Amino acid sequence: MEAAQLTLAITSTLNTTRIIQQYMQHRNLAKRYRARRQRQRGHVSDQDMDTDFSESMGPANACIMVLMGQVHAVERRFWVRETSTDWWDRIVLQVWDDSQWLRNFRMRKGTFMELCDLLSPDLRRMNTKMRAALTVEKRVAIALWKLAMPDSYRSVGNQFGVGKSTVGAAVMQVAHAIKDLLISRVVTLGNVQVIVDGFAAMGFPNCGGAIDGTHIPILAPEHQAEYINRKGYFSIVLQALVDHKVRFTNINVGWPGKVHDARIFRDSGLFQKLQEGTLFPDQKITVGDVEMPICILGDPAYPLMPWIMKLYTGSLDSSQELFNYRLSKCRMVVECAFGRLKARWRSLLTRLDLSETNIPTVITACCVLHNICESKGETFMVGWEVEANSLAAGYAQPDTRAVRRAQEGAVRIREALKTSFMTGQATV
């Protein structure tokens, strides 16, 4: 053996000996430490001893253990991610039945897959050398889960094996895709005659929908007092026109909570179309000796106009009470629609933690998803309403001041309807 090789061998042996000595010293220290703990505490579990020993080891000693063969080095490969990905790929997609899909995503698997197909033009992404892109299905599932559950971004991310920032991005990507691709197809009047016939069967003639507004609680925007509503919390208003099947046919989202329903209505595109006579067909009926166009039904916060009927207020006689009963019975569809919207998509009840520009997009997406569920006949579970009422307890809907403004022609139409309801005369 050459001198250089001999020197290297001796040095290696000395280093190994020193490492073994350090290891034995630390092992003896650990034993003495455990003995002292046992004397102090009387008893200690194996788990505690393991913890004590691990605490006495630094990074260098862990390397010693590996060298001595006491510990096997393990290559970490996305332990948490792998489990969560398996949950989505192998459990949800392959094992869950329709009832589980309905409880967690608010729709059956078939409806979910149809939705993914509709959104795929905007949501499909290319893989990169760094990572595989989320599938359209997983992206939509993350968004629906976050909208349906009052969970944090982190908990949703853990559920699906992605980061919380990925959850936030998925929610907005899906919401934008729904708004861009589906709102004009899903939130629409459709066949007006079917709607008119539906309300007539419920007791109100020539009616094309019911209108109301609801407040969606949000986190406080900076220096934005106009978002504080009459109940004292920050909100954004959703105005909606609803058909006899509790589906939204027109929505307006984004006004601050302080603004009155009548002003929102007056400044909306819906008001413009009603005033111009372009929303509904020019289809009038005769009530007594008065012509009545297709109208919508509102509460006392709206003005009385030929194309919007509202309740009588003040001291009422029996004919006015009957009119109010018939109108209220039909107007309940809009309250029912808001209730089902928020119970399905419970994120709307827990102060949306989004920017002011993103909140209207998410609310719009929830309205579209509501219509899809209603049109597809997705079951509305009773328990959802109970959970929603509990979440909404801290955010009562503000009362709105009554508007006394009324057009003369509208007063005549309402009086004629009141009389026809009392006499039971059919409209022509």
pLDDT category of residue 7 using cuts at 50, 70 and 90: low
Q: 279 pLDDT exceeds 60? A: yes
Q: 46 pLDDT exceeds 50? A: no
Q: Which of 406, 405, 204, 194 is nearest to 285 (CA)?
A: 204
pLDDT category of residue 76 using cuts at 50, 70 and 90: very low
pLDDT score of 12:
64
Cβ within 8 Å of residue 398, ≥6 positions away: 215, 229, 230, 231, 257
Mean pLDDT score, 156-170: 93
Cβ within 8 Å of residue 185, ≥6 positions away: none
d(CA 372, CA 187): 9
Mean pLDDT score, 120-137: 79
pLDDT tens digits, 89-102: 899 999 999 999 99
Distances (CA, A) of 295 to 82, 135, 292, 307, 318: 57, 45, 8, 4, 23
Name the pairing type of β-strands 248-256 and 295-297.
unpaired
Q: 4 pLDDT exceeds 90? A: no
Q: Is the pTM of this model over 0.85?
A: no
pLDDT score of 33:
60
Q: Which of 202, 421, 370, 397 is nearest to 297 (CA)?
A: 202
Segments in 161-239 forming alpha helices (H): 164-181, 183-186, 192-202
Q: Residue 59: what are its φ and ψ, rounded to 5°?
A: -60, -35
Q: 49 pLDDT exceeds 60? A: no
Mean pLDDT score, 1-30: 63
Cβ within 8 Å of residue 269, ≥6 positions away: 250, 252
Indicate the average pLDDT of the chain: 85
Q: Are 327 and 205 in contact (CB under 8 A)?
A: no
pLDDT score of 17:
65
Mean pLDDT score, 229-253: 96
Least trusted range by pLDDT, from 32-36, 104-108, 326-330, 380-384: 32-36
Q: 252 pLDDT exceeds 80? A: yes
